[in-house]
Structure 1
Amino acid sequence: MHNPARVLYGRLPDYHLSASGRAMARAAAEHVAGLGRPIAQLRCSPLERTQESAAPFAELTGLAPVLEERIIEPTNVFEGRRMSRALRNPLNWWYLRRPSVPSWGEPYRSVAERMLAAMGDCADAATGTDAGDIVLVSHQAPIWITHLAVAGLPLRHDPRSRRCALSSVTTFERVGDAWHEIDYAEPAASGIDLGAV
């Protein structure tokens, strides 16, 4: 991600992939294509950086990415700020009063519910002649929160401890009405993100 000011960009517009970020997105797309499984749908968050990350998937699958609002980054009051500075300011400490919610942005439960709803709707649509895997290009926080929800773990967590590297691939499978995480891969494991939290 091109982020010379090293701010938390969240849902802010005009944050684009760097050359390294484009290469990492390509590695993720090649990893998924290399699995040899049919891809039925390609959806991405409406933010520019996820649309750019979806581009190599579109190229390799021939599918046009469909924008999916429900898989967007959570809201965050610290957007546009450098976290190391923002957290030193006592005026911002109020936002940290309830980390279990979290009090600085969209509740974890809301993120999990919208992500699982989007996944369920996509899975419902991928039947019959349209059956196949679904690629959702989302963001670190919603993916990690979905992982926690599917695993039945508490949604409260320290954002610095997320196992969700740049351009990583987390794979979920629905069996009946239940989702299960079946794989996690880091095809572009050397990436460094200068803005995501």
Structure 2
Amino acid sequence: MAQATVHLLRHGEVHNPDRVLYGRLPGYHLSELGHRMAERVAEHFVAERDAGAQIVGIAASPLLRAQETARPTAEALGLELEEEPRIIEAENRFEGMSRIKEQLRNPRIWPMLANPCRPSWGEPYRDQVARVMEAVQDHRGRAVELGGSGAETILVAHQLPIWVTRLAAENRRLWHDPRRRQCSLASITSLDFDDEKLVGVRYAEPCADLLADAANLPGA
């Protein structure tokens, strides 16, 4: 059996003073704190490599915040940064809105809330899992081709697609309270495989000490 690990890395904090649910909107850069998180993550993976990890690839969502988070790690490990559209942020009909809690009081948007299990306001959770896991399996296979058994690769993505992928991996229901996601800024959700079979899920927060200063908007 060929063992491999795919690390799903969430992007760092975004400069978003108006607290917009930015979704797939272009132009949202990392904040100063977000850049510090990206550098910290790079240090984390360099330490892992120096301890023997065979990290052979890195790819990121096309969105700017994911690309900026990935770049320091790619440079530190001497890897070419690839773009992976299948791990982009989820579609969301609230995209572009600010003050979401206030918006939810507006009866005109209540029809969007009809089915939180799907969810009715955006891309179905199952569709997100399907596209992310397709990407995960492709990059897992490529990692093994490049590095052999034990190879690792990194995919830089977004909170919701990462979280529902983890829920599916752990055979848990996909609908959930966004405030209870264990997927903090610049966190790492690691999927361990024997060949194509998922055998373990691990979670790490290399930037845990920086989170107290972060503006962590649910759903972002």
Q: Spell out the pairing of 1:133-172 with structure 2 (5 A cutoff).
A: 133-172=152-191
Which structure 1 segments of 5+ residues have no match?
Answer: none
2:185–2:216 contact (8 Å) kept in structure 1: no
| CA displacement at 1:26 relative to structure 2 | 1.4
1:34 to 19, 27, 47: 47
Structure 2 Cα separation of the partners of residues 160 and 51 of structure 1: 25
TM-score under structure 2 normalisation?
0.85
The equivalent residue for 1:55 is 71
The equivalent residue for 2:127 is 110
1:24–1:167 contact (8 Å) kept in structure 2: yes
Q: How many residues align?
A: 197
RMSD: 1.4
The equivalent residue for 1:76 is 92
2:178–2:218 contact (8 Å) kept in structure 1: no
| CA displacement at 1:128 relative to structure 2 | 4.0
Q: Spell out the pairing of 1:14-25 with structure 2 (5 A cutoff).
A: 14-25=27-38
The equivalent residue for 1:122 is 139
SS at match of 2:155: strand
Residue 94, structure 1, aligned to residue 111, structure 2: yes
SS at match of 1:35: helix
| CA displacement at 1:196 relative to structure 2 | 4.5
Structure 2 Cα separation of the partners of residues 16 and 181 of structure 1: 33
Residue 183, structure 1, aligned to residue 202, structure 2: yes
1:28–1:169 contact (8 Å) kept in structure 2: no
TM-score under structure 1 normalisation?
0.95
Residue 10, structure 1, aligned to residue 23, structure 2: yes
1:40–1:134 contact (8 Å) kept in structure 2: yes
Query: For residue 139 of structure 1, what is the amino acid of its counterpart?
Result: H
* Cα deviations by residue, 1:11-53 (Å, 9 ceiling, x for unpaired): 0000010110010111122112211212111100000000000
| CA displacement at 1:187 relative to structure 2 | 1.0
| CA displacement at 1:88 relative to structure 2 | 1.7
Give the number of the structure with larger relative contact order, counting CA–CA contacts within 8 Å between residues 6 or more apart: 2
Structure 2 Cα separation of the partners of residues 103 and 60 of structure 1: 41
Structure 2 Cα separation of the partners of residues 193 and 142 of structure 1: 20
Structure 1 Cα separation of the partners of residues 92 and 171 of structure 2: 24
Query: For residue 103 of structure 1, what is the amino acid of its counterpart?
Result: S
Which structure 2 segments of 5+ residues have no match?
Answer: 1-13
1:150–1:180 contact (8 Å) kept in structure 2: no
2:56–2:146 contact (8 Å) kept in structure 1: no
Query: For residue 17 of structure 2, what is the amino acid of its counterpart?
Result: P
Which stretch has the larger CA shift, 180-189 or 3-12? 180-189
| Same amino acid, percent of matched pairs | 44
